[in-house]
Amino acid sequence: MTAAASARQILTSLHEVMASRTHAQAKLNQVVETIGEALSSEVCSIYLLREGMLELYATRGLNQAAVHVTRLGVGEGLTGTIAQNIETLNLAEAATHPEFQYKPETGEEKFHSFAGVPIVRRERAIGVLTVQHTDPRKYEEVEIEALQTTAMVLAELIHNAGLVDSEDLDRLPEAHSGQEVLTGLKLVKGLAIGQAVFHQPRVTIEQTVAEDIEAERQRVYLAFDRMREQIDAMASQAEFGVGGEHEQVLETYKMFAYDEGWSRRINEAIDSGLTAEAAIERVQQRTRMRMREIQDPLLADRMHDLEDLANRLIRIVSGQLGTAAQKGLTQDSILVAKNLGPAELLEYDKRRLKGVVLEQGSLTAHVVIVARAMGIPVIGRVANVRGMVREGDEVLLDGDAGTVTLRPSAGVLSAFEARFARSKEKRAAYAKLRDVEPFTRDGERIEVMMNAGLRDDVGMLSMTGADGIGLYRTEFQFLVSAQLPQRERQARLYRDVLDAAKGKKVIFRTVDIGGDKSLPYISSEAAKEDENPAMGWRALRLALEREGLMKAQARALLEGAAGRELNVMFPMVSEPWEFDAAKKVFDQQLAYLKGRKHQLPSAINYGVMLEVPSLAEVLDLLLPKLSFISIGTNDLTQFLFAADRANPMLAERYDWVSPAILRFLRRVVQSCVGYPVDLGVCGEMGGRRLEALALLGIGIRRLSITPAAVGPIKELVRKVDTRDIGEAMRGWLANPPQDLRAELQAWAQAREIEVE
């Protein structure tokens, strides 16, 4: 008989047992008989979790008097070890295992061989299925597989019969239990407490035994098709991907998605009588076990990719496709994901979303910028967090220390809560600076503005007392819409923003789409071929070619600012002609509105972002035409260092407080001397205290930063004497020290200026 046929026979008998009208205990009794028989084992037993202990619920071969009497702690004996580690044991001689424990009431001393598999539901062991035999022989692989398949079906039976209550399930055991502290990269500071929620929820398999094998085969076939389509689409949209590693990952995905072996194994599992979902999970379990034996870090990485794909396949086949955002958050939540796009993050309910943990991510990735604007702490580059955390686990996220604590102990939790309260006090202290003007000690007025992009962000202006909005990222409206926002809608947003700003200055940046800001409705053949999207067809480059887009936005901005001052900034200007071309679009629209006697803005100022290094070399040609320049250090850094801002591998490699960046920026400051051009910095760099101190040192007097940083930066400004830091910086940039960051830190410390 083939392996599939014998497994099928077992499943058929199990199916009959499950469908029978007997009560649960009788069903379990029948199951142990069936399995014992099929595997020619004298003993077959089922242990189930009750009140935190594993209790012998049914047995063939052990003393019946031991049923409901023999109980083992999780982690105790072989059975407890299986439950604790959620892993299979297969031993020729049970007594040789270090965890072996003898229970006299069972009469098991005469049995030598032992095999056991965990019965798993929602990633936790709710019981253990064991077989024993007098001959000292290891069970064969097909037998172990039959046991594992049986355990899957049993999990369903046990759940349906209510044999394990959910309280027990919530208590223990699980793949990872007890407190665990993971470290990652600090992407957005702050503290958060909440329950773990997977961005892509795990599917709990409700039906394991197939009613109609042909139908299951068809379901899995269609799901494979659909998954392959998705992967191909992802690959062809790589221009908006997350950069760097994504290509390699996609290649691996493709390899798995088209892997004949994988689909064949799933089909075999279906042949044995499982539903499509159960078959995929079954094959996945088997692969997991094999991989665990190999212990190769490279393979482990690939394993994550395969897990990802298997989860995707299960979601497709079961029709449970929504993200956690679409399902809605029901409590304070910490979102766990491999990576996210900015638009995906924006779908979450801000009141419930307290923090984000990513396996990837970098400081200037747009999803991180959006989270920062939302005031949501983020930790990135936490390896395999999705494998360590369970949905619903309590999570403490410390964005200041870069740690994620899973399932904290009571002591750790209360210490964290105390820190949380203190940080709230600190925030309240910053809030007091709201109406205080940021003058340095030597009397320089520093303009502290904020970055925004969502309608609600504007409210932060009055809350923080920022001087205005130095960067309004208009593309965020495009990111959160399902289609291209109509001109009227755009105009309405700009009008609302100006209303809410109550006369404070707002600098609108025209759309910066592309790079890591993906828009499904704006793609083209040119973009699809972009291998390096950050340096590709994005921002002004795209807008100038998609003239309709630029025209509509120009008109919307002119209309939205009717009767008021309009400040327009163009992103990614690399050469002066691009500014001219963009301004021409505005001039044409202005003429059009004038001709129709529409009310016009009271004044229009044009500026550029300096974020492509080439512009710095020809700035003198453009300066006479500009009212302002804003240095976008996020992009500028990636271009200066040739280091993709979205690539997590490079996230910590280059330092903003380094001579290369600071010398470059100082040169830009010097080029602007003598022109009536307002110069500032609007990259993430300006919102960090040490970096801001360095910027003041090279002569920057306007910062536009994330709202949460306005208070801390105002406080910093008030402690700085720009002459002092200017002089120190001149010395360091003339003769750069080994570690400029450390020098600057020491300098600040000596003057009692807090910079962390």
Binding residues for Mg ion, rule: CB under 5 A, are 611, 632, 635
In the complex, what is the shortest distance from the CB of residue 645 to ligand PEP, in angstroms, rounded to a whole number? 8
Give the 3-state secondary structure of residue 609.
strand
514, interface contact from ligand PEP, Mg ion, none, CB < 5-8 Å by kind: none
Give the 3-state secondary structure of residue 98.
coil
In the complex, what is the shortest distance from the CB of residue 683 to Mg ion, in angstroms, rounded to a whole number? 7
In the complex, what is the shortest distance from the CB of residue 355 to ligand PEP, in angstroms, rounded to a whole number? 22
Q: Are strands 565-570 and 505-509 parallel, antiparallel or unpaired?
A: parallel
Measured between alpha carbons, how far is 465 from 711 in angstroms, rounded to an integer?
8
- Backbone φ and ψ for 207, nearest 5 degrees, come out as -130, 125
* CA 99-105-109 angle, 5° bins: 55
In the complex, what is the shortest distance from the CB of residue 571 to Mg ion, in angstroms, rounded to a whole number? 6
**Nearer Cβ to Mg ion (249/610):** 610
In the complex, what is the shortest distance from the CB of residue 346 to ligand PEP, in angstroms, rounded to a whole number? 15
**Nearer Cβ to ligand PEP (190/683):** 683
Name the residue among 125, 101, 152 with its Cα closest to residue 49.
125
**Nearer Cβ to ligand PEP (473/689):** 473
How is the beta sheet containing 394-398 ordered, strand by strand? 180-183, 403-406, 394-398, 191-198, 333-337, 353-358, 378-380, 185-188
**Nearer Cβ to ligand PEP (553/634):** 634
Whether residue 201 is preceded by a cis peptide bond, meaning omega within 30 degrees of 0, is: no
**Nearer Cβ to ligand PEP (351/653):** 653
Name the residue among 274, 445, 297 with its Cα closest to residue 384.
297
168, interface contact from Mg ion, ligand PEP, none, CB < 5-8 Å by kind: none
Report the residue number whose CB is nearest to Mg ion. 635
**Nearer Cβ to ligand PEP (216/512):** 512
Q: Which residues, 596 to 635, sit near ligand PEP by CB under 6 A?
A: 611, 632-635
Taking CB under 6 A as the rule, does residue 683 contact ligand PEP? yes
Q: Which residues, 358 to 417, sit near ligand PEP by CB under 6 A?
A: 369
263, interface contact from Mg ion, ligand PEP, none, CB < 5-8 Å by kind: none
In the complex, what is the shortest distance from the CB of residue 608 to ligand PEP, in angstroms, rounded to a whole number? 12
Token digits of residue 436: 């205080």
- Backbone φ and ψ for 133, nearest 5 degrees, come out as -150, 150
Give the 3-state secondary structure of residue 391.
coil
Measured between alpha carbons, how far is 657 from 742 in angstroms, rounded to an integer?
9
Strands (E), 315-424: 333-337, 353-358, 378-380, 394-398, 403-406
In the complex, what is the shortest distance from the CB of residue 705 to ligand PEP, in angstroms, rounded to a whole number? 10
Residue written as token pair 């094999």: 290
**Nearer Cβ to ligand PEP (285/634):** 634
697, interface contact from ligand PEP, Mg ion, none, CB < 5-8 Å by kind: none
Binding test (CB under 6 A) with ligand PEP, winner from 315, 473, 689, 714: 473
x/- site string to ligand PEP, residues 12 to 51, per CB under 6 A?
----------------------------------------
In the complex, what is the shortest distance from the CB of residue 353 to ligand PEP, in angstroms, rounded to a whole number? 21
Residue 296 to residues 245, 291, 303, 409, 438: CA-CA distances in angstroms?
A: 19, 8, 10, 32, 55
Measured between alpha carbons, how far is 103 from 95 in angstroms, rounded to an integer?
12
In the complex, what is the shortest distance from the CB of residue 653 to ligand PEP, in angstroms, rounded to a whole number? 17
**Nearer Cβ to ligand PEP (39/569):** 569
**Nearer Cβ to ligand PEP (281/512):** 512
683, interface contact from Mg ion, ligand PEP, none, CB < 5-8 Å by kind: ligand PEP
Report the residue number whose CB is nearest to ligand PEP. 632
Size of the site for ligand PEP (CB under 6 A): 11
Q: How many CB atoms lie within 10 A of CB 520?
A: 11
Measured between alpha carbons, how far is 414 from 423 in angstroms, rounded to an integer?
14
Residue 193 to residues 106, 196, 328, 399, 420: CA-CA distances in angstroms?
A: 46, 9, 18, 11, 9
How is the beta sheet containing 53-60 ordered, strand by strand? 71-73, 53-60, 43-50, 124-133, 113-121, 89-91
Contact 703, 680 (CB under 8 A): yes
Measured between alpha carbons, how far is 707 from 463 in angstroms, rounded to an integer?
9
In the complex, what is the shortest distance from the CB of residue 555 to Mg ion, in angstroms, rounded to a whole number? 24
**Nearer Cβ to ligand PEP (324/713):** 713
**Nearer Cβ to Mg ion (631/709):** 631
In the complex, what is the shortest distance from the CB of residue 633 to Mg ion, in angstroms, rounded to a whole number? 9
Q: Which residues, 511 to 540, sit near ligand PEP by CB under 6 A?
A: 512
Token digits of residue 190: 């702050």
407, interface contact from ligand PEP, Mg ion, none, CB < 5-8 Å by kind: none
Q: Which residues, 484 to 513, sit near ligand PEP by CB under 6 A?
A: 512
**Nearer Cβ to ligand PEP (117/471):** 471
In the complex, what is the shortest distance from the CB of residue 430 to ligand PEP, in angstroms, rounded to a whole number? 22
Q: CA end-to-end span of the chain, whole Å?
A: 69
633, interface contact from Mg ion, ligand PEP, none, CB < 5-8 Å by kind: ligand PEP
Contact 388, 175 (CB under 8 A): no
Contact 151, 172 (CB under 8 A): no
Question: Which positions lie near ligand PEP, rule CB under 6 A?
Answer: 369, 471, 473, 512, 611, 632-635, 682-683
